[in-house]
Amino acid sequence: MDKYICMVCGYIYNPEEGDSDGGIPPDTPFEELPDDWTCPICGAGKDQFEKKEN
């Protein structure tokens, strides 16, 4: 699964880990995150994330 990086603060969303603080279970692809999910570090919306190149 692809990782996504927050263009505001550099946080990397790793689908294998999910976002336990945000209630997102492991193995949740970025595309399946709720529309109102925000970066757990800076609060940026999903539209501020870009696919991380390997």
Paired tokens of 30: 């970025």
The answer to whether the annotation marks 42 as part of a ligand binding site is yes
pLDDT higher than threshold 80 for residue 7: yes
CATH T-level topology, domain 4-51: Rubrerythrin, domain 2 (2.20.28)
Strands (E), 7-54: 12-13, 49-51
Contact 50, 3 (CB under 8 A): no
pLDDT higher than threshold 90 for residue 53: no
The answer to whether the annotation marks 39 as part of a ligand binding site is yes
Q: Which pLDDT score is estimated for 45? A: 98
17-46 pLDDT, tens digit per residue, is: 999 999 999 999 999 999 999 999 999 999
The answer to whether the annotation marks 51 as part of a ligand binding site is no
